[in-house]
Structure 1
Amino acid sequence: MDLRHLRYFIAVAEELSFTRAASRLGLGQPPLSQQIQQLEREVGAPLFDRLPRGVALTAAGQRMLRDAKEILARSEQAVLNARRAAWGELGLLRIGFTPSASFNPFVTASIRDYRQAYPDVRVELMEATTAQLLEGFQTHRLDVAFIRPASGETGQLPCRLLLREEMLVALPAGHPLAGRRSIPLTALKGESFILYPRRNGRALYDAIVEACEAAGFSPRVAQEAPQMASTVTLIASGIGISLVPASMGQLLAEGVTYRPLRGPAPRADLSLVHQTDTAQEVTSAFTRLVLERARRAGPST
């Protein structure tokens, strides 16, 4: 039995006439009658009672009509689903991001825009360190990620720079430097720094250290914070200061003041990395959307 037989059968069942059904299908009546007879032989029961004028469905035909319509509808939906999957409109997309990237409006807006454009794609989000996200690509648990990688850290994975984010000085509200409108790096010499561990984010850690050394000092690391958000909590407790991506300034915490840097300062590069060897169209669609959004936003600062 093929779908053509079912279409022919439905036409006859709806028209209750071989003549009208043949006209509707663009067939001759004899070939249509032969196809229906072949279907009845395959079923092993008559589907129509042949009347002097037209036909009537038998009990078997009535049951066959319900099932045939359902089968055709499901077959059409299967074709549509396959096409939509090929177009990136169906499937599963696993998106990763680093803790600091999660505060960047570009990241949240990109995910929101994608979900609005592709509402039938199931999205899974994963927040983790850069090292953990890169491991997620190796174990095929991730399709795409917003990260801040060091040079060469992504290996063979495609890595596209999205933006270069300014960094802010985050310090206790009662700190002597908190009253300034902006702070040069040289003013931070001798301060106790709270940094995100290098093993969790080598690029950000190295950018801070290198910028301080260029300003004439090596930062004294008093404490490492396991999560970027916990850095702010430690600053509020008065343990030290830190340099954080500007988007972290949205994390308003009592007892913490953010000030821009004056003069030469490090940048926090945000990049998009995506899977290649198991990439699906949903990954390509998301990548295109993000890169187009970055293009519209203009050159990186």
Structure 2
Amino acid sequence: MELRHLRYALAIAEERHFTRAAARLGIGQPPLSQQIKLLEQELGVQLFHRQTRGVELTDAGEAFMPLAQAAVAAAEQAVQAARRAARGEIGALTIGFTSSASFNPLVPRIIGRFRERHPDLTIRLVEQTTIRLLEAMGEGSVDVAFLRPALGDTDGLVTRRLPDEDLWVALPARHRLAGNASIELVDLAGDPFILYPRSNGRLLYDSIIAACRNAGFSPRIAQEAPQMASTVNLVAAGVGVALVPESMRQLHAHGVVYARIAGDGPKAQLVVAHRRDGPLPPAVRNFMSCVTGDD
């Protein structure tokens, strides 16, 4: 039984006439009659009573037509679903991001734009360290990710670099330099530092170490914090100072003040990445269009 046979039978049932049904379908009346005979032979029942001025459904036809109509509708829905999936309009997309990336205003803006353009696609959000996100993309459990990779971390990935952020100093409110709008990095040479662990992401850690060394000192690391938010909380507790991306200033922790680093200070890099191997999934392609602002 072919889908077209169901459509033929439904057209005859609605028109109650072979000739009108044939005209509606765009085929000749004799071929239509022949196809219906073949369908009835396959089913082993008669669907229509042929009459002089038209046709009437048999009991078998009355039982057959609702289910035939449902089958045709289901087939059409399947076609539409396949086409929408091929366009990346339905399905699922897993988006990863680091804890510090979530504070960057570009990240929620891009995700929000993608949601608006593709409301029927399921979005899963995953917050992890850069290292874990790189592993997850390699495993295929994360489709795209906002992260801070070091040189060599992105082999096998396609990356698009977002605008760099300045690193700012987060200081305890009672720090001797807390009232300064900007601070020379060397003025922090004697302070204990709170750093994001290098094992979670090399780029930010190495950038901070390099900036301090360029200023003439090696930072004294008092504490490592697994999340950027907890770094700021440790600053509030007076454990030390920290260098954080500028967007982290949105985190208004009691007992913390922020100051710009004087001169050409260190930067925090952020990229959005996806896997390079294989054809680009439609949902990923659509997401990258939102990153670039393309329609």
Gaps of 5+ in 2: none
Indicate if the aligned counterparts of 2:156 and 2:277 stay in contact, CA closer than 8 A.
no
Indicate if the aligned counterparts of 1:162 and 1:291 stay in contact, CA closer than 8 A.
no
The whole-number CA distance in structure 1 between the counterparts of 2:181 and 2:232 is 20
Q: Which residue of 1 aligns with 2:173?
A: 173
Partner SS for 2:154:
coil
The whole-number CA distance in structure 1 between the counterparts of 2:147 and 2:22 is 62
The whole-number CA distance in structure 1 between the counterparts of 2:243 and 2:265 is 10
2:128 maps to 1:128? yes
- The one-letter code of the counterpart of 1:121 is L
Q: Which residue of 1 aligns with 2:17?
A: 17
The whole-number CA distance in structure 1 between the counterparts of 2:52 and 2:139 is 69
2:175 maps to 1:194? no
Q: Which residue of 2 aligns with 1:119?
A: 119
Gaps of 5+ in 1: 297-301
Q: CA deviation at 1:46?
A: 0.7
The whole-number CA distance in structure 1 between the counterparts of 2:243 and 2:62 is 74
Q: CA deviation at 1:52?
A: 2.7
Q: Which residue of 2 aligns with 1:87?
A: 87
Q: Map Cα deviations across residues 251-284 of structure 1 (whole Å, 9 max, x no partner).
A: 1111111111111211000101102335411111
Q: Which residue of 2 aligns with 1:299?
A: none
The whole-number CA distance in structure 2 between the counterparts of 1:90 and 1:84 is 6
2:169 maps to 1:164? no
Indicate if the aligned counterparts of 2:95 and 2:143 stay in contact, CA closer than 8 A.
yes
Q: CA deviation at 1:8?
A: 0.8
Q: Which residue of 1 aligns with 2:285?
A: 284
Q: CA deviation at 1:292?
A: 2.8
Indicate if the aligned counterparts of 2:100 and 2:228 stay in contact, CA closer than 8 A.
yes
2:32 maps to 1:32? yes
Q: Which residue of 2 aligns with 1:258?
A: 258
The whole-number CA distance in structure 1 between the counterparts of 2:46 and 2:156 is 64
- The one-letter code of the counterpart of 1:186 is V
The whole-number CA distance in structure 2 between the counterparts of 1:83 and 1:29 is 33
Partner SS for 2:226:
coil
The whole-number CA distance in structure 2 between the counterparts of 1:12 and 1:189 is 88
Q: CA deviation at 1:179?
A: 0.5
- The one-letter code of the counterpart of 1:174 is R
- The one-letter code of the counterpart of 1:151 is L
CA RMSD of the aligned region, Å? 1.4
- The one-letter code of the counterpart of 2:72 is L
Q: Which residue of 2 aligns with 1:54?
A: 54
Q: CA deviation at 1:26?
A: 2.1
The whole-number CA distance in structure 2 between the counterparts of 1:110 and 1:97 is 12
Indicate if the aligned counterparts of 2:193 and 2:220 stay in contact, CA closer than 8 A.
yes
TM-score (norm: length of structure 2) = 0.96
Q: CA deviation at 1:49?
A: 1.4
Indicate if the aligned counterparts of 1:158 and 1:273 stay in contact, CA closer than 8 A.
yes
The whole-number CA distance in structure 1 between the counterparts of 2:263 and 2:26 is 79
Segments of 4+ moved more than 2 angstroms: 276-279
Q: CA deviation at 1:30?
A: 1.4
Partner SS for 1:269:
strand
Q: Which residue of 1 aligns with 2:77?
A: 77
Give the % identical residues: 55
The whole-number CA distance in structure 1 between the counterparts of 2:176 and 2:168 is 16
TM-score (norm: length of structure 1) = 0.94
Indicate if the aligned counterparts of 1:142 and 1:275 stay in contact, CA closer than 8 A.
no
- The one-letter code of the counterpart of 2:196 is Y
